[in-house]
């Protein structure tokens, strides 16, 4: 028991050190935040300008708006605040997303749960300087997926970033076809709003450091292997489909973005449900 206690404490120390490194790596002074893209898109809506612009029209790659229109509308009220105040409010919402992500993990505060919470919290906290929407998406899924509104939450997440829709594999594994259909309908509805805008200017280039552009063959191999494994688990009805889907998201996204590694944490409640979810399969 004494050796086990020492091992647990050592693991916590290592995890804490890892969190410090993650936050330190993300907290770059004077970093240009991703939130600039949201702010500028909302300003264009206010001024009656096109929401989507050709990539060549942007002064900086970070300013490219790649999301569904509703998200830019959601940012419009923030543009009536001074920009620094608006960004502080936004980072507060992202911090709330981090807390929401950790709640399901810490319901049973075992050493493993504490370590997972530390690492997940560190990954998402490293995102705060960039102020990307990732922390809010992960928090929404962590809290929303276990509820009846899970399909709506997943559909909203899919309207911001397509790859969270890989979590549909969990619904397929549980044979929850109606929930899968609702997810797709919500995501489609929110994306179809794009057709009311200058959608032909929608940017299709990948932002940031992209594995697809650095090593395309490796990315294709990883993506195919991931989809085969995930599809096989879902077809067999494995309860591990949720975790596999969460782990597949950071692997399959062409862009390399460290906070994406927090998506597996959104499946903790589904794994903990065990027999409860299996009873809803058919």
Residue 216 above 70 pLDDT? yes
User: For residues 281 and 88, which has the higher predicted lDDT (pLDDT)?
Assistant: 88
Q: Which residue in the block uniquely carries the two structure tokens 């404490």? A: 9
140: exposed, middle or buried (Cβ count in 10 Å: 0-12, 13-18, 19+): buried
Mean pLDDT, range 93-99, rounded to an integer? 92
Tokens of residue 229, six digits: 């494994």
Tokens of residue 45, six digits: 């809506």
- What's residue 171's pLDDT? 96
Residue 270 above 60 pLDDT? yes
Closest listed residue to residue 244, CA positions, set 271, 272, 212: 271
């Amino acid at each position: 028991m004494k050796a086990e206690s020492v091992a647990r404490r050592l693991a916590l120390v290592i995890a804490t050190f890892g969190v410090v490194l993650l936050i330190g790596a993300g907290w770059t002074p004077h970093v240009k935040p991703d939130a600039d893209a949201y702010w500028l898109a909302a300003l264009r809506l206010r001024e009656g300008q096109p929401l989507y612009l050709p990539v060549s029209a942007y002064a900086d790659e970070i300013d490219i708006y790649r999301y569904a229109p509703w998200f830019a509308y959601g940012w419009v009220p923030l543009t009536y605040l001074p920009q620094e105040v608006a960004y502080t409010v936004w980072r507060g919402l992202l911090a709330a997303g981090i807390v929401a992500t950790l709640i399901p993990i810490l319901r049973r505060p075992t050493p493993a749960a504490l370590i997972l919470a530390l690492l997940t919290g560190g990954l998402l906290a490293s995102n705060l300087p960039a102020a990307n929407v990732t922390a809010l998406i992960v928090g929404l899924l962590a809290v929303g997926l276990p509820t009846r509104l899970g399909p709506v939450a997943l559909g909203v997440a899919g309207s911001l970033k397509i790859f969270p829709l890989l979590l549909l594999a969990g619904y397929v594994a549980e044979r929850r076809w109606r929930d899968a259909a609702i997810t797709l309908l919500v995501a489609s509805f929110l994306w179809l709003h794009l057709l009311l805008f200058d959608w032909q200017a929608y940017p299709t280039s990948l932002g940031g450091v992209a594995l697809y552009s650095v090593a395309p063959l490796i990315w294709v191999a990883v993506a195919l292997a991931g989809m085969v494994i995930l599809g096989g688990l879902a077809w067999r009805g494995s309860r591990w489909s949720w975790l596999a889907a969460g782990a597949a998201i950071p692997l399959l996204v062409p862009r390399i973005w460290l906070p994406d590694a927090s998506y597996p944490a959104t499946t903790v409640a589904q794994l903990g449900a065990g027999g409860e979810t299996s009873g809803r399969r058919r």
